[in-house]
A = this chain, B = another copy of it.
Amino acid sequence: MIKVGIIGSTGYAGAEIVRLIQQHKEAEVVWFGSRSYVDEKYADVFKNMFQIVDAKCMDDNMEELADAVDVIFTATPQGLCGSLVNEEILKKVKIIDLSADFRIKDVATYEKWYGIKHQSPQFIEEAVYGLCEVNRDKIKDARLIANPGCFPTCSFLSIYPMVKEGLVDPKSIIIDAKSGTSGAGRGAKVNNLFCEVNENCKAYGVATHRHTPEIEEQLSYAAGEEVMINFTPHLIPMQRGILATSYATLKKPMTYEEVKAVYDKYYKDEYFVRVLENSTPPETRWVEGSNFVDVSFKVDERTGRIIMMGAMDNLVKGAAGQAVQNMNIMFGLPENEGLQQVPMFP
């Protein structure tokens, strides 16, 4: 039985790890970290866990935690994992960091977009970007996983095959994403109140959102050349779900069948990536609560562009689910253990 510790277990992503591990046969959470709720019963904060989780919330002592568990998930704001990790800890325990601290290889880029100084740049090189479908082999032996961001996961997976095969102009990519509100976290902010979010749609972080360099870096690896994108996230009145709609110029005309073959080449054996048929647009309702990403595309002969779409649950494949998938790979378990929930609809 894998012993799991979570730092930040009372945020939405942390709580989702708790939910998923509850349904995992080979793992159990033994440390419910939460600075805000130390000594309170976890089930008093998340009452869905009443009579399921009996433990109390504990503080963020990573040293102590390293002795108590096999793997630590840090579901915390940027900067925390980077400030806590050290070689002693990494010798004892595997770390899956859900923050952005180890996602970007270039420290200067990280510090510029995030506006904070990196506290442990010496581990960036070692850290593996935990996009399971792409980096599976490296993940197996990793000590430190940089769990991908929600928008990057959904955007990247829906574009990846076309970029990898060099079929689209790498300077033409525009990603327009829409996200439910759980992505904004559980902090008490006026902007996230029900009355402010409901009946509203807005873009945010236009041309400045921090997930931009993360997406560009990963797409550049895939392309083998520099990719520069526009990325615009939008907040919409749902709880869960991300839909990414991406536009790129085809280098040459392609038929539906040709493109479909490209997607199938990369994803036909991937359990969690479902390539829809006949250009059916993906919808967030069809993946809610599950670790699936549904991807699809439409070739527009008129404009010579391809529209690539992906739908995903931001808390599962976009955060906690992918983190558990990484854990499964690291511990040699079936990749979908604990992640076989059928999407819940309605």
Interface string of A150-173 (1 = CB under 8 A from B): 000000000000000000000100
Tell me if A199 is interfacial: C-beta within 8 Å of chain B: yes
- Judge whether A344 and B342 touch: CB under 8 Å: no
Which of chain B's residues have a CB closer than 8 A to the CB of A300?
A: 207, 230
- Judge whether B284 and A199 touch: CB under 8 Å: yes
Tell me if A15 is interfacial: C-beta within 8 Å of chain B: yes
Tell me if A281 is interfacial: C-beta within 8 Å of chain B: yes
Interface string of A239-258 (1 = CB under 8 A from B): 11101010100000000000
Please choose the segment from A1-9, A43-51, A139-147 that sits at the chain B interface, where 4 or more of its residues have CB less than 8 A away. A43-51
Please choose the segment from A125-133, A190-198, A325-333 that sits at the chain B interface, where 4 or more of its residues have CB less than 8 A away. A190-198
A341 CB to nearest B CB, Å: 7
Which of chain B's residues have a CB closer than 8 A to the CB of A236?
A: 178, 201, 236-238
Tell me if A289 is interfacial: C-beta within 8 Å of chain B: yes
Please choose the segment from A63-71, A89-97, A181-189, A217-225 that sits at the chain B interface, where 4 or more of its residues have CB less than 8 A away. A181-189
Which of chain B's residues have a CB closer than 8 A to the CB of A178?
A: 178, 201, 234, 236
Tell me if A206 is interfacial: C-beta within 8 Å of chain B: yes
A181 to B176, CA, bound (A): 20
Per a CB cutoff under 8 Å, which of B234, B284, B342 touches A202?
Answer: B284
Which of chain B's residues have a CB closer than 8 A to the CB of A230?
A: 247, 300, 303, 305, 307
- Judge whether B287 and A48 touch: CB under 8 Å: yes
Which of chain B's residues have a CB closer than 8 A to the CB of A259?
A: none
- Judge whether A346 and B285 touch: CB under 8 Å: no
Can you sample 29 A-B contacts with CB below 8 Å? A19-B345, A47-B280, A48-B286, A174-B174, A174-B247, A176-B176, A180-B199, A181-B193, A186-B190, A188-B188, A188-B189, A193-B193, A194-B196, A199-B346, A201-B283, A201-B284, A202-B243, A202-B282, A202-B284, A203-B245, A203-B307, A206-B298, A207-B300, A228-B303, A230-B247, A230-B300, A230-B307, A239-B346, A247-B247
Closest 9 CB pairs of A and B: A48-B343, A195-B346, A176-B176, A202-B283, A200-B285, A194-B197, A207-B300, A188-B188, A47-B286
